[in-house]
């Protein structure tokens, strides 16, 4: 079977498990993980990881031969990466200096005018998780901080407008995890106001709390409710997610979701055994990754993650 070619490879670096929210469906948690073991606590380890990724993925390698990609993007995720402050900013700037495209997926809580001014020109794509425009639903999901603050539709619009002003060529993507609490909601008016380049509708993965899961019919109902937004809506059901993301955990190990409610499998540390050997220790479905770039709704390189 010939693999479809893609323009860009995306590597998702979950830089920290720490987060100011407590979303019940979050899969970015790792068994027996200790926050103090995360690479960013040691000054040189994140830069060493990024350097090794650049040496391998920006050069000729087996995956590049299969996918034919021309660019590689580091997507900084979490937890909430902006909680790391200067350590995140330094990693972002260093990744850019190595020749990576860069992006971030954030809950938006820490995207103040000051931090946006600092990082916007270095981010090729700003991704924001936005599950609901209703405060009570946000509370049910766990998308509030300890003080009860949340990302409201007005705040979302303000952040997106400022990013576009600071980086007119940057892409804007919103992620919504469709789950048991929000599947009845209609966000059409909010999305028409924000007008993201992509709005990804992810069906909640049954990895952590089972009470967040939904049926096929509920997911389809949510998608159909937003049929007026097909110009920028991207669907991602569970089948499209398994083993189709290239992910690194905060300890510097490749990992994958292992199955329904079964947690994760992961490689040994990239810093200990190198990129190539670590990559061989996890499952990565090259065809599934490539298919996400071939759907009618995804004609550019910002479909993924």
Task: List the CATH number of the domain containing 108.
Answer: 3.20.20.70
Which residue range is the domain that position 86 belongs to? 8-291
pLDDT at 63: 95
Residue 229 lies in a domain: yes
pLDDT at 29: 73
Residue 211 lies in a domain: yes
Average pLDDT, the chain: 90
Kindly report, residue by residue over 181-194, the tens digit of the pLDDT.
999 999 999 999 99
Question: How far apart are the C-alpha atoms of 287 and 112, rounded to whole Å?
Answer: 39
* Contact of 292 with 304, CB cutoff 8 Å: yes
pLDDT at 297: 40
The answer to whether residue 129 scores a pLDDT higher than 80 is yes
Kindly report, residue by residue over 1-13, the tens digit of the pLDDT.
557 789 999 999 9
Strands of 264-266's sheet in order across? 233-236, 198-203, 171-178, 125-129, 101-106, 71-77, 8-14, 246-248, 254-257, 264-266
Residue 151 lies in a domain: yes
Residue 305 lies in a domain: no
Residue 2 lies in a domain: no
Question: How far apart are the C-alpha atoms of 212 and 272, rounded to whole Å?
Answer: 37
Q: Do β-strands 246-248 and 233-236 pair in parallel, antiparallel, or remain unpaired?
A: unpaired
- Number of separate domains in the chain: 1
The answer to whether residue 52 scores a pLDDT higher than 90 is yes
Residue 303 lies in a domain: no
Lowest mean pLDDT among 38-52, 120-134, 200-214, 273-287: 200-214
Kindly report, residue by residue over 252-297, the tens digit of the pLDDT.
999 987 655 556 789 999 999 999 999 999 988 898 888 876 544 4
Averaged pLDDT for residues 141-150: 96
The answer to whether residue 70 scores a pLDDT higher than 90 is yes
Q: Which DSSP letter does residue 40 get?
A: G
Residue 210 lies in a domain: yes
Residue 300 lies in a domain: no
Kindly report, residue by residue over 201-257, the tens digit of the pLDDT.
999 987 555 688 999 999 999 999 999 999 999 998 766 555 678 999 999 999 987
Q: Which of 198, 176, 197, 179 is nearest to 187 (CA)?
A: 176
């Amino acid at each position: 079977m010939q693999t479809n070619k893609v323009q860009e490879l995306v590597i998702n670096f979950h830089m920290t498990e720490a987060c100011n929210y407590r979303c019940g469906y979050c899969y970015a948690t790792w068994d027996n993980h200790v926050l103090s073991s995360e690479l960013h606590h040691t000054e040189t380890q994140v830069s060493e990881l990024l350097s090794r990724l650049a040496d391998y993925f920006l050069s000729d390698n087996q995956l590049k031969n299969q996918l034919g990609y021309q660019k590689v993007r580091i997507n900084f995720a979490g937890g909430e990466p902006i909680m790391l402050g200067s350590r995140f900013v330094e990693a972002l700037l260093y990744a850019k200096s190595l020749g990576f495209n860069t992006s971030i997926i954030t809950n938006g809580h820490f995207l103040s005018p000051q931090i946006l001014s600092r990082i916007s020109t270095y981010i090729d794509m700003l991704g924001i998780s936005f599950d609901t425009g209703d405060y009570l639903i946000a509370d049910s999901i766990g998308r509030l901080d300890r003080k009860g603050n949340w990302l409201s539709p007005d705040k979302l619009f303000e952040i997106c407008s400022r990013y576009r002003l600071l980086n007119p060529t940057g892409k804007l993507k919103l992620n919504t995890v469709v789950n048991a609490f929000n599947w009845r909601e209609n966000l059409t008016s909010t999305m028409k106001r924000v007008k993201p380049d992509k709005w990804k509708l992810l069906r909640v993965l049954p990895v952590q709390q089972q009470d967040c899961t939904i049926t096929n019919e509920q997911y389809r109902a949510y998608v159909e409710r937003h049929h007026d937004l097909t110009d920028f809506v991207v669907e991602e059901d569970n089948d499209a997610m398994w083993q189709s993301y290239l992910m690194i955990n905060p300890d510097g190990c490749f990992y994958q979701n292992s199955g329904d409610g079964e947690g994760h499998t992961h490689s040994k540390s990239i810093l200990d055994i190198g990129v190539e050997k670590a990559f061989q220790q996890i499952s990565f479905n090259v065809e599934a990754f490539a298919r996400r770039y071939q759907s009618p709704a995804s004609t550019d390189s910002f479909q993924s993650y």
